[in-house]
Chains A and B, each alone.
Chain A
């Protein structure tokens, strides 16, 4: 279950984040985790990780060798800890949580905007400005087109959703009428 992996990955992500803040290396750690995620996510690697023929020490050596210079001393230690605990597969989840923590500490909120028609850059900035005023965070926007919305926009920022689309309003009307 998605919820379980998040719960297990959270302490790792928090530990990495706190260490990164202490050593003032939020950026390099981002790259390290991104790289680790890419390595673990590689389909051939997945076979290797779960292969019982590779014991833990040889797997550690392999990953560190692949990384080479990209791993700092601390990065290598993270790999060792993850493998020793058998949690290497969670690298992706850890990277995601780390990015969330990083964004939160830098007061950045990622917003996903879905609209019926492509948004113009001015509209995007308008939305970003309005959301910044509302949430008090710097906003980064990704947008998507979805003709099913009929009109309007649907904004998602983390768990919070602002549904200003026509299809959403029609759904509200349908609920009201009990259809």
Chain B
């Protein structure tokens, strides 16, 4: 037997001392059936929707179906010790999770209990997992960028703070990799990250934690894990718990980012719970409210204005806007984006990053399909220099893909087409970026500038990756002042353009790659 850290006698003494014994009238019912983590409870006349119910043995459940004579509830966690006839009590509270800075760097389950063996979570506040999203009056338009550090995304599908950008693709196309890179790139920017892992393997989650620790990104990250072995109820509530933890930062005038990896599995978990609760199945056997399941979750990602923050904090934080940027992830089956859940989430979000297995296998990573990926609001939030330099990239790439497919049949091509093809080929190469190596704004700008100004035209396509790496290292060592200036102001003018011209010319003349 192992002794828990909470079992020190002094602590126990304190808790017994503070223990407030209450005898109050409570609603009580009895379990009449218990199957697959779903309990039907007779009685409990006063139960509220989504109220926490107390079962014997310190087990809790969630009242989901309120019927005339019975209540259908999901049990959160283990239920094997419960039997028919057990008493169930109302608690009068909706489900709450701990919130606050104390969660940063921790791995917790859907209820906020620590999973990482680093002791109890320090928190002073809790907050309900289901909340109504900020209304129209409380919001502010998205006009600040979230730098993901991935050239392809920041140049082609820019994401703003408070935006919801869907990452969609088949299995093994690098969806999570994009999310993890985005978290790593938030190091030192003050953006707090929440990574919600739903229905994933424990080994995968452990690997993510290790990678984030390796890159020093755990300090600003909370991981909410509802692995595949957790009950469906835990998997279904995990995104809501994560959103509540992220809202803590949003409401206090900070910027936060949340990744739901992935919502397909959450919808599956919800489908399971709903069918076991005997709710009528609809399309693909999902219940009727599966759209609302995701819309109410994603609506909580928002940018709130300074007045909202000031009112929320009772005047403690003034003149600061808060944001919660969401990256929901959806896994498609065989590239089918017209399935139920993908179409729902596409319509809810403000754009999508579409990943393709074919591109991934062709070695283009991140495997972003430039034609189908869009960002509906991010353009307004893009940094000036990237906006200026990356403007043509998306169009060039989309046209190139079409032209490339077409030109396979043509024997000879006119010069203009050939030039466009060669350009496209180089830009495709340029958009490649290895995992765990997010780029700064200056590095990104240099690459895009080189492509725009034709500095890549005389470099063989298969050498582009090497050329870019060497160019970046040259910029870091020989042009530090210029890099720092671009990173600091992100401004683009003739002076910056001239400096970049000079730098790249110097690099091409005097350095090897």
Is the CB of A172 closer than 8 A to any CB of chain B?
yes
Stretch of B65-73, B308-316, B360-368 lying at the A interface: B65-73
* Interface 0/1 of B6-43, CB less than 8 Å to A: 10000010011001011111111100110000001011
Q: Closest residue of chain A to B54, judged by CB? A: A175
Instruction: Kindly state whether residue A69 has any CB partner on chain B within 8 Å.
Output: no
Shortest Cβ gap from A58 to chain B (Å): 34
Within the assembled complex, what's the spacing in Å between the Cα atoms of A144 and B10? 40
Most B CB within 10 A of own CB, among A156, A161, A162, A172: A161
A160 touches B15 (CB 8 A): no
- In the assembled complex, A178 has its CB within 8 A of some CB on chain B: yes
The answer to whether B29 and A159 have CB atoms under 8 Å apart is yes
Q: Would you list which residues of chain A between 141 and 179 have a CB under 8 Å from chain B? A: 156, 158-164, 169, 172-179
Q: A160-B26, A176-B15, A177-B15 are in contact. Are A3 and B67 (CB under 8 A)?
A: yes
Q: Is A133 part of the binding interface, using a Cβ–Cβ cutoff of 8 Å?
A: no
- For A2, A3, A6, A164, the residue with the greatest tally of chain B CB atoms inside 10 Å of its CB is A3
- How near does chain B come to A143, taking the closest CB pair, in angstroms? 18
A7, CB-defined interface residue at 8 Å: yes
B40 → A minimal CB distance (Å): 7
A169 near B21: Cβ-Cβ < 8 Å: yes
Interface residues of B, dominant DSSP: mixed
Which of the listed residues A159, A172, A173, A176 has the most CB atoms from chain B within 10 Å of its own CB?
A159
Contact A178 B6 (CB under 8 A): yes
Main secondary structure of the interface of A (DSSP, over half): helix
Q: Closest residue of chain A to B32, judged by CB?
A: A2
Asked if A3 and B12 make an inter-chain contact with CB atoms under 8 angstroms apart, the answer reads no
Say whether, besides A156-B28, A175-B58, A1 and B46 are in contact (CB < 8 Å): no
The reply to whether B21 and A172 form a contact with Cβ atoms under 8 Å apart is yes
Q: Are B29 and A3 in contact (CB under 8 A)?
A: no
Q: How far is the CA of A1 from the CA of B68 in the complex (A)?
A: 14
Return chain B residues, CB-CB under 8 Å to A173.
16, 19, 21
A159-B21 in contact given A3-B70, A175-B58 (Cβ < 8 Å): no
Question: Chain A residues in contact with chain B, CB under 8 A?
Answer: 1-3, 6-7, 10, 134, 156, 158-164, 169, 172-179
The residues of B with any CB-CB pair to A shorter than 8 Å are: 6, 12, 15-16, 19, 21-29, 32-33, 40, 42-46, 58, 67-70, 87, 89
